[in-house]
Structure 1
Amino acid sequence: MIANLALYFAEHTLFAHTFTWVWGPFRARLPEPGTLSPIALAITLAALVMTFVLKWPMLRILGICAPLGMGTVLLP
């Protein structure tokens, strides 16, 4: 359940649009690759480096990434 939620947020944060892929009884929501947000991808990659390479605590990472994300929305 946590992994599903993480994938949902990643899909809707990194990509502007998704589509439903249907193959017989199977359905999957897939992102449109052309709608990838390079700024969101850069913040995600920075967070991954801080988490797995630098092994920083999560509150420090959130304290850095949250203002970056808000800045991308608030600044033109």
Structure 2
Amino acid sequence: MPLFKIVAAGALGYLAYQAWQRSKRNAAQTDAPSARSRLDDGGTTPPHGDPRRSEETLETEPVRAAAQSSPGFGGT
């Protein structure tokens, strides 16, 4: 049974590789960009995520090397 799984995984991988090569070959034959890609217009990405608050500061205090709360691997 394990041998069957290995052979099946290999066959699946081979078929996936062949499909990938076929799609690369088809994409190379067409000069137009694909439907999923857009040309870069040189702009910037619009802000995303949580908005920044004006009272928030992004400054943090520097990390001290000896400020660990847990011992190292060799410590007790």
Q: TM-score, normalised by structure 2?
A: 0.25
More helix by share: 1
More strand by share: 1
Q: Which has the higher contact order (CA 8 A, sep 6+)?
A: 1
* Higher CA-based Rg: 2
Q: TM-score, normalised by structure 1?
A: 0.25
